[in-house]
Amino acid sequence: MRDRLILLPGWGLGVSPLEPLAEALRALDEHLRVEIEPLPVLLSADLEDWLDELDSTLPDNVWLGGWSLGGMLASELAARRGDRCCGLVTLASNPSFVSREDWPSAMPASTFEPFLNGFRDAPNTTLKRFCLLCSQGSIEPRALAGLLLGGAPKAQPDTLLAGLEVLGKLDTRAALQAFSGPQLHLFAGQDALVPVQAATDVLALLPDVEVGLIEQACHAFLLEAPHELAAAIQAFLHELGDE
């Protein structure tokens, strides 16, 4: 089903941030089926549990994609499925959200750990702060943060905490290297959560894949530049279809 793309959302904000992109993609290609699948609702912070849930829910032989945490999970699932996955598209998705000695282009652990603890103590306040971080770098950050927060589902803090713990532990580099299908990784130039250097580092890690940068955009570029993102994705899919 090379004409079917399933998108996974990022942490905490539900499916609504992906809807403008899905609509823009459908408008560009009436034959492309674009679906947004919510993240699993689990109390476990074990990656395998998340992948088992996604693997049992999502159809085989489709394109997998996602924003931020959703892109990281799509990467892991693509590697698990191998030839049963048509290809991978990630959006503002760092292979490791938290920095490591051999992957410094990410959020410092000294920033992530207080954020994680802050969510345990005050989930609503921390989610508002997260929306502001997602929109930092945009022309109207407060308005964009309000849109993100307004569209977020009323999830239980325990399940959101599990997702945040998965985000902190995930390192998808081995999965990305193991997956031999086509890959497109799109980054935002003004992203406050994923350093722009990550785009260069992904290209160095995976010299045979497509990496793109939308320079004047923040982490929430799904809402800022849905048509630009859709055009990049559609061009990538179309190019592969012509091969």
* pLDDT of res. 70: 98
DSSP character for 36?
Answer: E
Q: Residues 119-142: what's their mean pLDDT?
A: 95
pLDDT at 89: 98
Percent of the chain with pLDDT over 70: 98
Angle at 219 between CA 209 and CA 120, to 5 degrees: 115
What is the enclosing helix (H) or strand (E) of 229? helix 226-242
Asked whether 232 and 225 are in contact (CB, 8 A), the reply is no
Q: In angstroms, what CA-CA distances link 202 with 114, 133, 175?
A: 27, 22, 13
Identity of residue 107: M
How much is the pLDDT for 130? 96
Q: What is the pTM of this model?
A: 0.97
Per-state percent for the chain, helix, strand, coil, to nearest 5: 50, 15, 35
pLDDT of amino acid 240:
76
- pLDDT for 243 beyond 90: no
User: What would the mean pLDDT of 72-88 be, rounded to a whole number?
Assistant: 97
**Average pLDDT over every residue of 193-210:** 97
Annotated active-site residue 135? The verdict is no
Task: Please report which helix (H) or strand (E) contains residue 6, including its range.
Answer: strand 4-8
- Does 75 participate in catalysis according to the annotation? no
pLDDT in tens, 93-120: 999 999 999 999 999 999 999 999 999 9
* pLDDT at position 155 over 90: no
**Residue among 75, 138, 171, 191 flagged as catalytic:** 191
pLDDT tens-digit map of 46-64: 999 999 999 999 999 999 9
DSSP 82: G
Report CA-CA distances (Å) from 61 to 11, 64, 149, 152. Answer: 25, 9, 33, 30
pLDDT for 1 beyond 60 = no
Whether the pLDDT of residue 241 is over 70: the answer is no
Q: What is the pLDDT of residues 178-196, one digit of tens each?
A: 999 999 999 999 999 999 9
- Confidence label for 197 from pLDDT (cuts 50, 70 and 90): very high
Say how many C-beta atoms besides its own lie within 10 A of residue 206's C-beta: 17
191 is catalytic: yes
If one looks up domain 4-242 in CATH, what number appears? 3.40.50.1820
* Active-site option among 31, 68, 138, 158: 68
How much is the mean pLDDT over the chain? 95
- From the candidates 138, 171, 185, 219, give the one annotated as an active-site residue: 219
For residue 242, is pLDDT > 60? no
pLDDT over 60 (residue 36):
yes
* pLDDT for position 15: 97
- Give the alpha-carbon dihedral of 136, 115, 42, 15, to 10 degrees: -10
Q: Where are the domains of the chain?
A: 4-242
